[in-house]
């Protein structure tokens, strides 16, 4: 699990540490870690650190300070280090240290992409957590040219231009091949589109004491998924694995009923009971003979996928809420929410559906998805899974937002959300809480898609989810997994 902290939290953590060790020490720790990672990268790409040419693009703040002190260390190891003054006045002590070690300073204004000839590494020390979006065009042209030439671009703390707290990455932001961050991860490292601008992320310990601070985000990795997945035990029967009841699909959208059923079946439900649209039922009966269609015992409901307009939608949702059973409300079901829901109910909107729920624009959700998902959970009382490139889960009254394991962009296709609803219901039916169930289901779907290099229709991906779940159960994390 990786935990991320907002800019305000990071500054408070840094201040607390600085109060005991001093500001200079913290920056030296950051510079030491940064120089070490830069040297590793040079050793790997060039075979040697000595004699490498390093260009450090610096801004006016401490981010540039880190980069300049790292430059000093690289110069001492025999690198030829050029600092490019790109924004404002560079950190004076950091600059003096670099110059004393034999580095040089040039003005960014007169620089062209030709100046990249012979450079082995570009270090982006323009802006860190104090940055605002919007970088000068000539600076961006330089870092973009480095990317085009295939040069490694090492971002200090964050790729400059991205928004640390929200994960926004305006087109004018640096594209790094590697990011070295200090003390703790920031949301921008974990949320798209900024996350993809970071390349591989390395965390340098600078002695921050994270113990007393509740993180803004908790990002899961495949081992966490294996640890928490409800694998069946030796004596589990179909009720231990759980019965999923589905009221999904419509005559207009029968496929959604079929796909949500695939999600529940291949997500490992002990039994799937389909009580949705007739046209969906006909296809399911042909393709999935294990699914049952009559009334009977249910341990988790999934409603809403593919409903379209549904005149009795309010009552259909209210009845399922009244059952007190774990419940997933997806897609068109989200149009029929009562004012207040218990946290055991899981809502699975995409950005457009979340915007409608919050009565704002879709762009407001994508501009700050963490705030939006948190706000939806607080307003409804439910647990909310925001689907998309980064899948976030929030529960009312809980500060930390969970981030599912990310997957490839191919997952974004019609029908993926229906399958995901079914996967969520399968995990909930096994007795896992809504928050954890949502992260597990979203993660497994993403991990499954990550196995394929191209597009695969959602029903096929659903089948492959079963393989991924099975393999998780065989791995070291899986042996620690909970039995149902
Ligand atoms: N305070 C410390 O001792 C530590 C700081 N650290 C480093 O310090 C960074 C934060 O330093 P700062 O708070 O100085 O912030 P930054 O270095 O991120 O930059 C802030 C400065 O840039 C200017 N600026 C912001 N956006 C701009 C834009 N779009 N165009 C032009 N100018 C812009 C601001 O006016 C301000 O002068 C971290 O990201 C990290 O790299 C780390 O070394 C850890 C320790
Ligand atoms: K940076």
Model pLDDT for residues 382-416, shown as the tens digit of each residue: 999 999 999 999 999 899 999 999 998 877 778 89
pLDDT at residue 364 is higher than 80 = yes
* Cα–Cα distance, 277 to 297 (Å, whole number): 19
Same domain, 467 and 338: yes
**pLDDT attached to residue 241:** 87
Q: Residue 378 C-alpha to ligand 1 middle, in angstroms?
A: 33
Question: What residues are paired with 394 via a beta bridge?
Answer: 384
Q: What is the pLDDT of residues 30-51, one digit of tens each?
A: 999 999 999 999 999 999 999 9
| Alpha-helical segments (H) within 163-269 | 187-190, 194-197, 222-228, 238-241, 254-266
* Sequence-ordered list of residues with C-beta below 8 angstroms from that of 361, at least 6 positions apart, any chain: 355
Q: Are strands 53-58 and 121-125 parallel, antiparallel or unpaired?
A: parallel
Residue-number span of the structural domain to which 175 is assigned: 2-214
Same domain, 236 and 173: no
pLDDT at residue 283 is higher than 90 = yes
Same domain, 287 and 169: no
Same domain, 279 and 171: no
- Give the residue numbers of the binding site: 62-66, 124, 157, 160, 256, 306, 350, 417-418
Same domain, 192 and 233: no
Once rounded to an integer, what is the mean pLDDT over residues 337-350?
96
Same domain, 372 and 478: yes
Give backbone dihedrals phi and psi of 13, rounded to 5 degrees, phi first: -65, -45
Q: What is the pTM of this model?
A: 0.94
Other CB atoms within 10 A of residue 7 CB: 18
**pLDDT attached to residue 410:** 79
The CATH number of whichever domain residue 426 belongs to comes to 3.40.1190.20
The CATH number of whichever domain residue 106 belongs to comes to 3.40.50.10260
Q: 112, 111, 109, 123: which is closest to 151 by C-alpha?
A: 123
pLDDT at residue 480 is higher than 70 = no
- b/e sequence 129-162, b meaning 16+ C-beta within 10 Å: bebeeebeeebbebbebbeeeebbbbbbbbbbbb
pLDDT at residue 82 is higher than 70 = yes
Same domain, 263 and 369: yes
Same domain, 175 and 252: no
Q: 264, 266, 261: which is closest to 286 by C-alpha?
A: 261
Give the torsion sign (CA, 2, 454, 226, 329): positive
Residue where one domain finishes, among candidates 166, 185, 214: 214
* Cα–Cα distance, 326 to 300 (Å, whole number): 5
Q: Residue 375 C-alpha to ligand 2 middle, in angstroms?
A: 30
Residue where one domain finishes, among candidates 214, 247, 265: 214
In this structure, the residue with its CA closest to atom 24 of ligand 1 is 131
Of the pLDDT bands very low, low, confident and very high (cuts 50, 70, 90), residue 115 is confident
Residue where one domain finishes, among candidates 169, 184, 214: 214
**pLDDT attached to residue 414:** 84
Mean pLDDT score of the chain, rounded to an integer?
Answer: 94
* Cα–Cα distance, 284 to 446 (Å, whole number): 24
Q: Which residue has the higher pLDDT, 439 or 410?
A: 439
Q: Which one-letter DSSP state was computed for residue 128?
A: S
Q: What is the pLDDT of residues 88-100, one digit of tens each?
A: 999 999 999 999 9
* Cα–Cα distance, 162 to 202 (Å, whole number): 17
Alpha carbon separation from 381 to 146, 182, 355 (Å, rounded): 48, 35, 17
* Cα–Cα distance, 366 to 345 (Å, whole number): 23
Same domain, 380 and 451: yes
Same domain, 202 and 261: no
Instruction: Indicate if ligand 1 lies below 6 Å from the C-beta of 403.
Output: no
Same domain, 301 and 189: no
Once rounded to an integer, what is the mean pLDDT over residues 165-173?
92
Q: What is the pLDDT of residues 228-259, one digit of tens each?
A: 999 988 888 888 889 999 999 999 999 999 99
**pLDDT attached to residue 481:** 57
Same domain, 354 and 458: yes
Once rounded to an integer, what is the mean pLDDT over residues 122-129?
96
How many domains, in total, are found in the chain? 2
Of the pLDDT bands very low, low, confident and very high (cuts 50, 70, 90), residue 477 is low
Other CB atoms within 10 A of residue 360 CB: 14
**pLDDT attached to residue 155:** 98
| Alpha-helical segments (H) within 53-127 | 62-76, 92-100
Q: Tell me which of 32, 56, 62, 204 to substitute to probe ligand 1's pocket, judged by most ligand atoms within 8 Å of the beta carbon.
A: 62
Q: Residue 128 C-alpha to ligand 2 middle, in angstroms?
A: 5
pLDDT at residue 482 is higher than 70 = no
**pLDDT attached to residue 478:** 54
8 A C-beta contact, residue 301 and residue 324: no
**pLDDT attached to residue 479:** 52
């Amino acid at each position: 699990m990786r935990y991320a902290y907002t800019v305000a939290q990071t500054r408070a953590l840094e201040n607390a540490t600085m109060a005991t060790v001093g500001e200079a020490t913290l920056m030296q720790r950051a510079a030491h870690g940064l120089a070490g990672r830069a040297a590793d990268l040079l050793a790997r790409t060039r075979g040697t650190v000595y004699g490498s040419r390093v260009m450090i693009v610096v801004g006016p703040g401490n981010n540039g300070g880190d980069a300049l002190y790292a430059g000093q260390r690289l110069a001492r190891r025999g690198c030829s280090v050029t600092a490019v003054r790109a924004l404002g006045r560079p950190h004076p002590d950091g600059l003096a240290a670099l110059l004393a070690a034999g580095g040089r300073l040039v003005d960014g204004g007169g620089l062209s992409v030709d100046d990249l000839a012979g450079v082995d590494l570009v270090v982006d020390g323009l802006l860190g957590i104090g940055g605002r979006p919007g970088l000068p065009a000539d600076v961006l042209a330089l870092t973009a040219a480095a990317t085009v030439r295939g040069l490694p671009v090492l971002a200090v703390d964050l790729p400059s231009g991205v928004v640390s707290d929200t994960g926004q990455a305006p087109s004018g932001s640096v594209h790094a091949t590697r990011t070295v961050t200090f003390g703790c991860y920031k949301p921008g490292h974990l949320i798209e589109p900024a996350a993809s601008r970071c390349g591989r992320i390395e965390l340098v310990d600078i002695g921050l004491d994270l113990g007393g601070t509740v993180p803004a985000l908790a990002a899961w990795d495949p081992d966490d998924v294996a640890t928490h997945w409800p694998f069946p035990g030796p004596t589990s029967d179909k009720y231990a694995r759980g019965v999923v009841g589905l009221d999904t699909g419509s005559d207009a959208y029968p496929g959604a009923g079929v796909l949500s059923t695939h999600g529940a079946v291949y997500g490992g439900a002990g039994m799937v009971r389909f009580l949705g649209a007739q046209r969906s039922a006909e296809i399911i009966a042909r393709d999935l003979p294990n699914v049952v269609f009559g009334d009977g015992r249910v341990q988790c409901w999934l409603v809403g996928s593919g409903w379209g307009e549904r005149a009795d939608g309010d009552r259909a949702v209210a009845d399922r809420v009244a059952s007190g059973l774990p419940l997933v409300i997806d897609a068109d079901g989200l149009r029929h929410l009562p004012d207040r829901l218990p946290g055991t109910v899981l809502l699975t909107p995409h950005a457009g559906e979340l915007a409608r729920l919050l009565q704002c624009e879709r762009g407001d959700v994508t501009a700050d998805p963490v705030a939006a998902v948190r706000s939806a959970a607080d307003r409804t009382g439910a647990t909310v899974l925001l689907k998309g490139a980064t899948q976030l889960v929030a529960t009312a009254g809980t500060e930390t937002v969970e981030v599912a394991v990310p997957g490839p962009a191919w997952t974004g296709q019609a029908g993926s959300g229906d399958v995901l609803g079914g996967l969520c219901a399968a995990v909930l039916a096994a007795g896992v809480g809504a928050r954890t169930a949502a992260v597990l289901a979203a993660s497994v779907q993403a991990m499954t898609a990550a196995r394929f290099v191209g597009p695969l229709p959602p029903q096929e991906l659903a089948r492959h989810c079963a393989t991924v779940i099975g393999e998780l159960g065989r791995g070291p994390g899986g042996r620690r997994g909970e039995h149902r």
